[in-house]
Each structure stands twice: as structure tokens, then as C-alpha cells.
Amino acid sequence: MSSKPMVARLLDVYDFLKNKKNNFIGWIKTSQGEGGLFNARGYAMQRIVVCDKNNKPLYDQPLLFENAGCIIIIKMGNKIALTQNFRMVGERILLNAGSNYITEINKKSLWEKLVKSLGQWKREAPRGIIQNSNETDEIKFVLHTAIQESLEEAGVHIKNMKLMGRLNTNSTFFAHAQYVVMAEVESIEKAKPEEFEAIGNMQFMDMHELKKLAKTGEFDDGTTLGAMALCGLCLPQD
């Protein structure tokens, strides 16, 4: 796919007025902390200050939190299921800025241009966190999530689920690891993504096919690559 089903822009003050009618703003202030935001669907961002052992401030940073969830590696023979997801990602817009890239974006007020440039189709393993579950046992919750997300995103009923471990693809900014589940195909039907998700087709691909997509940039998802590694799968060397 080449068309963009969604576009992005910066949030502005007028969006809060529009939200009273459309109710599209899901991120609201946290109950503690300055500048923190949380989303009732299971996500939060807090600004924290990292201190030394004497409580002297060293630096501040954002930290992201998520409900428990999982990444699912669904195997069919020597292939795995990958969905096509539209993500707000893209290339850097200042090619020769080097270590001054972010500083130059801010100095030249290019944030709106940068955000509007984002949006690409990517191949990923099914993943997610679910809401509206009464299950409190974390492992049972994760396996339930694997069943639901595999069906919603890929249209696959899974069997022989196995918990392979946990994965944190960026421990600088993510506070919690997520689980990796490996499973096999039981049956396939039409995917049923949530209304706000832009998900294209699902394909079963072997490692050589994924290697080709990695070279074009369509497959560069670190979460999927990390989950594959926990399941003993890796792209072939050139």
C-alpha cells in the first residue's frame, strides 16, 4: 500500500474546544506529576527527574507506561504471520543536521512539518493490550490478549500457545517489558481490527522474504525482531 489512510498534526488549543463535541482526545493529565498524561486504554507518560543516591537531580526525561500485553509470533511451517500496519513514522527531514537534528527542528520551528511528513505502512507481528477484561492473573491475561489480538489484527485463531519470555525494545523510555507468545495456526478468517486502527492485509512470510522487506524499509520493527529472536528466529545473513 502507498496511500495514507491517516495524517497527523500537532495538537493545538482549539482541539480542546473541538473535543467537547467529538471527544477524540484520549490523553488527559495524570493525578500526580507535572506534565504527565494518561490514556484509560492502558497507556501513560510521566516526566520524571533522575537523581543520584543523595537525591541530587541529574536530568529529566519522559517515561512511558503500558498495561500488560504481548507480541505474538504465529508460525505456519517456516513462515510467520505479519500484518500491515500504518504507523506515524518516517524519515528525518533534515538530512545533514547530524547531532543538531532535534535542536535545529526546534530552532527553526519545524515540528508541524515533521509531524505532517509522518505515516508509513509497516510489517509487524500482531501485538497489543486489551481492555474490558476481568482477568487479574497476569499470565492468563497475557494469553487471553494473544488470542484476541491474533484474531483482531491477523484474523488467525491460534493454538499451542507458549510464553517465550519478556521484551523491552527501548528501556530508556519504556518502564515495563511486554510478553512474547509463540503460537501455531488453528484456522484463519477475516481480521477484525478496532475502528481506530489502520491495518492492511496479513501475510505469512519466511525469513528470506522478511530480509527483502528489511532492505526496502517496510520491515524494520524492533519489537517484532526482538520477539522473533526470543522464538529462535532471525533474518539470514547476506
Instruction: Give the pLDDT confidence of 55-109 residue by residue, as tens digits.
Output: 999 999 999 999 999 999 999 999 999 999 999 999 999 999 999 999 999 999 9
Task: Write down the domain spans for the chain.
Answer: 1-232
3-state secondary structure 40-97: CCCEEEEEEEEECCCCCEEEEEEEEEECCCEEEEEEECCEEEEEEEEECCCCCCCCCC
According to the model, what pLDDT value does residue 130 have?
75
Residue 203 bridge partners (DSSP) = 82
- φ/ψ (deg, to 5) at 14: -70, -20
pLDDT surpassing 70 at residue 2 = no
- CATH code: domain 1-232 is 3.90.79.10
**Distance, CA of 207 to CA of 204 (rounded, Å):** 10
Residue 170 has pLDDT above 70, yes or no: yes
pLDDT tens column, 133-159? 777 888 999 999 999 999 999 999 999
